[in-house]
Every structure is written in C-alpha cells, then in structure tokens.
Structure 1
Amino acid sequence: MIRLLRLLPVLAVSALLASCGPPTHPINPPNASIQQLDVLPDGRWKLQIRLENFSDKTVHYATLKASLRVSGLAAADLALNPDMDIPGENADIVETTLNAGADVQKAFLADAKESSGAPYELKGTINIPAAGKDFKFEHKSRLSPVPGIPNQYR
C-alpha cells in the first residue's frame, strides 16, 4: 500500500504531461535579401527576393514590407504578398518589378562597376501568421555583375 501511495504522484504528473500534447517549437526570425537584380530593356528592375526560414518546421510567409536602398539612395518601398509555405531551414524566391529613379539607376550602375559592387540595404517586416506577428529584418550586402550575362547582378 505504501508503494502505491509513493507511485501515485508520479502517475498523476505523467498523466498531466501526456495530456498537454507535443511541445511547440518557437518560430525563428526570418530574413530577406536580394538573390538577383535584372535591369530590363525598358529600365525597370526585376528583383528576386530570397525569403529565408531559419525555423526547423514549415512556416507560412504572408506579407513582406520593406524599404530598399541602393548605393545609399532610397530606391523603392516594397509591399509583397508571397503567400507561400517555406519548409524548415530552407528558402524560396518571390519576384517583383519596380521603377527605380534615374539618379538611383545611375548611382547603381556606377557602383556596380567597382570591384566591391553596389551596396544595398533591405529593411522591413515579414508577417508570419503562425507567430501572430511581424518580424523585423535588416539585410545589407552588395550586388555585382554576373560574368558573361549583361544587366544581371547578384
């Protein structure tokens, strides 16, 4: 009887833990960067934006809102609705086209000719409905011409 009384708390705790369900994993903050920039024949820019999922499970990406600065100049405000699921520890691409001002285009092309490439900054928020919030992100990097492919930068 004493053994049974000692075992009773262990059984009660085990039953409570079993009823809680599987543990939930936190969603790690996502990131966005430019995968590729193409200068189209009409002067517009086609951007391939890489959305990165650093979580270990599939996450739904609802919206991306960001400001893009190129060569130190404000190039565009982006508002995209990728509406896509990205598997854990993976990335996917969303595309958009924009009209960059003449001063931005000129500065970008001049900087892209330099060995260090043209600097850019993408800063904003990515909405993840499962987390119930917008995650802030900021990515700074450089774009350089793709060898042998005119008007394409990575």
Structure 2
Amino acid sequence: MKPWKLLTIVLLAGALAACVTGQRRVSEPTASIQQLSVGADGNWSVDLRLQNYSSIPMRFESIRFAVSVDGVSAGTLEDATTLTIGPESADILSLRLAPSAEGRLHAADALAAGRSLNYRIDGSIRAAPDDRNSARDYTVRRDSTLNPVPGLPGVMR
C-alpha cells in the first residue's frame, strides 16, 4: 500500500473516532420573544423561544424575566417549567402577561402605527444538563425588535 493512502486511512479513522467520542459541551442558554399577541382584553400572550446551545440535552426548570418595551417596564415573565430541549435546539414556551398600563399603551401604539416595537428581557434561566440533578442560573439580557405581522391583527414577531 502506498504511504499516502495509508496516511489518508489513518487520518479518516482518527476523525471518525473523534466524532464518536465527542466532547460534552455545556453552553449558556438564551431566550428571545418570538411572538407577542395582544388580546382583546389588553393582556399579552408571549411565545418565548428558549435556545439550548449545548451539545447535550438541557433541562429547563424555570425562567424569570423583567420585560420592557420602548424603554418602559411592561411586567415580569415567570414560569416554573420542566422542559427538556435537545442538543443545539430550541423550543417555545407560551406565557401570559398582564402588562403595565405604559407597556400596554406602547404595544397598542406600535400596532396602530404599523411600526416596530423595541423590547428587552432581563433575567435568568435555571437549567441543567438532563443527566444531572444540580441546576444553575444563567443570566440573560436580550434587546431586540418585534414587528407587526401583516394580516394578523394584534400580532408582532
């Protein structure tokens, strides 16, 4: 067998072995608002996207976020959950929020004017690798924007 063929086989076998024995990587999870729907009563339905960047499944135990829109406090999203998210995947947690009067006003104004709504979530996610008992808190601060969805009154993404 020629030396370059043997070297190629050895390198490919090494690469395959590295994939099989892969490292466990636990990365900080994050969150963002995927969709905000304003109900007829003024309360919000918030679809919170939880993202697991780890190479292993993570068990999400709770979330707590202060929510602000256009720089004013809108309220707190809080939930004790038992959601497990696979490696490098995301899932949606649907939550209800009775926003502050100012937050409600800013969202209604943005929807009526057809303009974007700046938001911030600031708080923590409690999570752990799915095969461990001890969870820890991960701090999350996210600034982003939601835009009205054409044809869906009261919905922003």
TM range (shorter): 0.7 to 0.9
Q: Which residue of 2 aligns with 1:19?
A: none
Q: Secondary structure at the match of 2:66?
A: strand
Deviations 1:52-101 (A, max 9, x none): 00011111000111110111111111221121110011100111111112
CA distance in 1 between counterparts of 2:110 and 2:71 reads 10
Query: Gapped runs of 5+ residues in structure 1?
Result: 1-21
CA contact 2:74–2:102 (8 Å) conserved in 1: no
CA distance in 2 between counterparts of 1:100 and 1:79 reads 13
Number of matched pairs: 132
What TM-score, normalized by structure 2, do the two folds share? Answer: 0.77
Provide runs of 4+ in structure 1 moved above 6 Å: none
Q: Secondary structure at the match of 1:106?
A: helix
Q: Which residue of 1 aligns with 2:88?
A: 89
CA distance in 2 between counterparts of 1:67 and 1:38 reads 18
Query: Gapped runs of 5+ residues in structure 2?
Result: 1-20
- Shift, 1:129, TM fit: 3.1
Q: Which residue of 1 aligns with 2:65?
A: 66
State which of 128, 138, 156 in structure 2 corresponds to 1:153.
Answer: 156
Q: Which residue of 1 aligns with 2:77?
A: 78
Superposed, 1:1-154 pairs within 5 Å as 25-112=24-111, 113=113, 115=115, 117-130=116-129, 132-154=135-157
Q: Secondary structure at the match of 1:110?
A: helix
CA-based RMSD of the aligned residues comes to 1.8
* Letter of the structure 2 residue corresponding to residue 146 of structure 1: V
* Letter of the structure 1 residue corresponding to residue 87 of structure 2: G
Q: Secondary structure at the match of 1:129?
A: strand
CA contact 1:126–1:134 (8 Å) conserved in 2: yes
CA contact 1:71–1:111 (8 Å) conserved in 2: no
* Letter of the structure 1 residue corresponding to residue 141 of structure 2: E
* Letter of the structure 2 residue corresponding to residue 151 of structure 1: G
Name the % identity.
Answer: 29
What TM-score, normalized by structure 1, do the two folds share? Answer: 0.79
Deviations 1:22-80 (A, max 9, x none): 78623100001101011111111000000000011111000111110111111111221
Which has the greater radius of gyration? 1
After superposing the two structures, state which structure 1 stretch, 64-73 or 101-110, moved more: 101-110
CA distance in 2 between counterparts of 1:149 and 1:79 reads 26
Q: Secondary structure at the match of 1:145?
A: coil
CA distance in 2 between counterparts of 1:90 and 1:26 reads 14
